[in-house]
Chains A and B, each alone.
Chain A
Amino acid sequence: MKIMVPVRRVPNPDVKVRLKKDGTGIETEGVNFLVNPFDEYAIEEAVRITEKSGGEVFLVSIGGPENEETLRAGLALGAHRAYLVDLGGECYESSGIADILAAVFKQENPDLVIMGKQSVDTDNNQAAQMLAAKLGLAQACFAYKVELQDGKAVVQREIDGGLEVKEVELPAVITADLRLNQPRYASLPAIMKAKKKEVKKVTPADLGAEPKNRARVLGLSEPPPRKAGQKVASVDELVDKLVNEAKVL
């Protein structure tokens, strides 16, 4: 089975993000970037499937040359090869990203796409759904458990109040939630092997993709600093403040 796993490069979620002074983006200088944590679940699931029943996992990362580092990290987790789609400094919202992923899909014709349910930087949670729509494939998002059986995937999804079981025909797009598996640590020999794995560098044009932006980021600003809380002496005072100060009652 051939599995495609898109991976995104995100700033280390444990580090406080700082905005550039002009509000056009985030400060990347000195920031440690990692594989999007949800994508690690996707890689792990894909690698486990191929370890069990053969096949290969290829990664796709869209961004700039620095994404090679992200891809090497993913390759060290057991993926076999990778695509680096260089946007040449351009930036696309989810729909444009889905256009590029769809173009890679058409070149490779994988049996399955597994990706993180969202990236932890922009939290859009859109690319997978859009990819499935553009390709006319079935989708099963927020997977808790994935089982493959003759041309189908049975996916358990965590929903409010329980589990939903969904059966999708392959090829399909599945997104990984955090309880899908426990991703492995990259072993040192695996890190060394990852260095020698193929990373194919392409542009959207090479893929025949014409991504378009239908939305544009005009600016970023920090949320206003939180005001200090207050202590109240009694329930009456609390109610009074909620009614008269906060005006929420």
Chain B
Amino acid sequence: MNFELDDVQTLVRDTARRFAQEEVAPLAAEMDKTATFRMELVKQMGELGFMGVAIPEQYGGGGMDYRCYSIVVEELSAVCASTGVVVSAHSSLCCDPIYRFGTEEQKKKYLVPLASGRMLGCLGLTEPQAGTDAGAVRTTAVLDGNEWVLNGTKIFITNGGQAGVAVVIASTDRSAKHRGLSAFIVPADAPGYKVAKEEHKLGIRASSTAELVFEDCRIPKENLLGQPGEGFKIAMQTLDGGRIGIASQAVGIARGAMEQAIAYAKERQQFGQPIANFQAIQWKLADMATEIDAARLLTWRAAWMKDQGFKNYSREAAMAKLFASDVAMKATREAVQVFGGYGYIDEYPVERYYRDAKITEIYEGTSEVQRMVISRALLRD
């Protein structure tokens, strides 16, 4: 793995950074306040290839590698964590499984509009009784002639309210438990597909988190993704990639908060001098920078393994997400502290970063699950 970015990666970073600062940053506070994502950003990002960074150009994507995907999510998240997760959940959890497990027809029909940003995607995995225990999914899918009929409820679905397509994990054989799960491509306009409610959240408020209800929801037989019974495998492999996205988001949140703290520390005068002159502040910044770099390197390693075609990088993706989400929490907490009272009010953006950071320890596998994944890998032999 190369620590330095090559010419292409540098250009990707510069473009993403500029887009984030010029187009996303001015909207971030407003989108957070109104808890509404501006869908025109999806269109704009689609035109730039950001909605499918690691999907080949022939399927509407950017044709880059996962390292570039990580870079784009970090840059977006450094100004707006909601935008970061809209892209990450869409790319890792919806585009990626269709790209990896879909048929050519499925890719043409669903991946192309998704990766080119004409449509937003989501993954329907979590249920009221099946969160960390993903194998306990109760949504069912029954074949009826040429159609699958889905019944069940999915909750906490990122992008759920605005998605045009959902990859849904449902049971096709309850008795086989997690081996009886299968994956389906469910268009939002399928009969029986309903967005039941939108959650009100602490952070990443601009990103939609919705409950999806399937009531005799009918989809064509050919919308089965992969083989029957492959649903759990597809979900777990999808989450491995997703964790690289969330780790990148966490790195971005942490870096954005640190940059705000550095700028403020140089400006804010107390006792007749900038507070950046005080060791108490300097050490906070030093710790932030060190931890952010470490988190990014873990994230890039996992991305590199995925790019190299490693079959199993679950442990490394879990490490990246576990560590980066922890760093995001610490860095944003300390950034608020550097701002003092001003950090606690919404005149400055650091309070938003602080609220946004928490979810990175929870979604796409809690920190406890990441530790489970890592320790299982350690104790397997």
A residues within 8 Å of B by Cβ? 32, 34, 68-69, 72-73, 76, 185-189, 191-192, 194-195
Contact = CB atoms under 8 A, between A and B. Distances in A.
Given A68-B7, A195-B8, A188 B48 contact: yes
A72 B7 contact: yes
A188 B19 contact: no
A186 B11 contact: yes
Interface string B33-50: 000000000000001111
B187 interface: no
B87 interface: no
B197 interface: no
11 contacts: A32-B14, A73-B14, A185-B48, A187-B48, A188-B49, A188-B50, A188-B62, A188-B68, A189-B57, A192-B57, A195-B7
B8 A192 contact: yes
A127 to B, nearest CB: 24
Given A185-B19, A187-B49, A192 B63 contact: yes
Contacts of A69: 7, 10
B290 to A, nearest CB: 17
Contact of A188 (B7, B10, B12): B12
Contacts of B18: 185
B53 interface: yes
Contact of A186 (B15, B64, B68): B15
B128 to A, nearest CB: 38
Contacts of B53: 188
Contacts of B50: 188
Given A186-B15, A188-B49, A192-B63, 15 more contacts: A69-B10, A186-B11, A187-B47, A187-B48, A187-B49, A188-B12, A188-B48, A188-B62, A188-B63, A189-B49, A189-B62, A191-B11, A192-B8, A192-B62, A192-B64
Nearest to B9: A191
B181 to A, nearest CB: 34
Nearest to A191: B11
B126 to A, nearest CB: 30
Interface string B140-178: 000000000000000000000000000000000000000
A189 B63 contact: yes
Interface in B315-366: none
Contact of A76 (B11, B61, B63, B64): B11
B136 to A, nearest CB: 39
Nearest to A34: B14
Contacts of B19: 185
Nearest to A32: B14
B168 to A, nearest CB: 29
Contacts of A195: 7-8
Contacts of B61: 188
Given A68-B7, A72-B7, A185-B19, A191 B47 contact: no
A32 B10 CA distance: 10
Nearest to A192: B63
Most B CB within 10 A of own CB, among A32, A186, A188, A191: A188
Contacts of A73: 11, 14
Interface in B57-82: 57, 61-64, 68
A84 to B, nearest CB: 13
B369 to A, nearest CB: 32
A199 B68 CA distance: 24
A221 B12 CA distance: 35
Smallest CB-CB A-B distances: 5 pairs = A188-B62, A188-B49, A187-B48, A189-B57, A191-B11
A30 to B, nearest CB: 12
B222 to A, nearest CB: 29
Most B CB within 10 A of own CB, among A73, A191, A194: A191
B11 A72 contact: yes
B303 to A, nearest CB: 16
Nearest to B57: A189
A126 B10 CA distance: 30
Nearest to A35: B14
A240 to B, nearest CB: 26
B115 to A, nearest CB: 11
Contacts of B47: 187
A145 B8 CA distance: 32
Nearest to A194: B11
A76 B12 CA distance: 10
Contacts of A76: 11, 15
A185 B15 contact: yes
Contact of A187 (B10, B14, B62, B68): B62
Contacts of B68: 188
A73 B8 CA distance: 9
Contacts of B49: 187-189
B15 A191 contact: yes
A194 B68 CA distance: 16
Contacts of A192: 8, 57, 62-64
A194 B8 CA distance: 9
Contacts of A194: 11
